[in-house]
Structure 1
């Protein structure tokens, strides 16, 4: 049951600059609420960012705050944010 509740607070983040890693992603989204987990997906062969990641918030307020933000810009890139499945 806990994993279901946690998945309801997880967001997909697309459009990440290749310079953004897990720490930068966590730091950016922590302004919206407590971040339990944040990670950027990297290509296994090249080690380069694939341009997307996921953020899990510790509570619904942070999750909703991030989703309700009109526009997310990180290092000059406009991010695409949506609830993760």
Structure 2
């Protein structure tokens, strides 16, 4: 198994209901493993999140636990969950968020 930081253990989650915030999303996905990062981007114009997020786990086990559960239903909404195949650049997203 690769050392943490050398391999990406990330999910991309979409169809997140507007009633959920970062805390609730992180708590939900925390049941599968330790969540290192949860990025739920917000739209500055509307104040609502954009309906998708990235979840970063500290271990591959957390990622696999989340991927093997189906369906993911939160507050009556079925979330779309898939492995993020491309390494996510957190700094790039932060820059883009500042510029929007």
TM-score (norm. length: structure 1):
0.89
- Greater radius of gyration (CA): 2
Which protein is richer in strand relative to its size? 1
- Structure possessing the higher relative contact order (Cα contacts under 8 Å, 6 or more residues apart): 1
Could you list the per-position Cα deviations for residues 30-69 of structure 1 after superposition, in whole angstroms to 9, with x for gaps in the alignment? 0000000112121121111111111000100000010111
Name the structure 1 match of 2:23: 23
Name the structure 1 match of 2:98: none
Distance in 2, matches of 1:24 and 1:57, equals 16
Name the structure 2 match of 1:39: 39
Name the structure 2 match of 1:66: 66
Q: Would the aligned equivalents of 1:21 and 1:39 in 2 still touch at CA under 8 Å?
A: no
TM-score (norm. length: structure 2):
0.76
Distance in 1, matches of 2:19 and 2:6, equals 31
Name the structure 2 match of 1:54: 54
Where structure 1 has 5 or more consecutive residues not aligned to the other structure, the ranges are none
Which aligned runs of 4 or more in structure 1 are off by greater than 6 angstroms? none
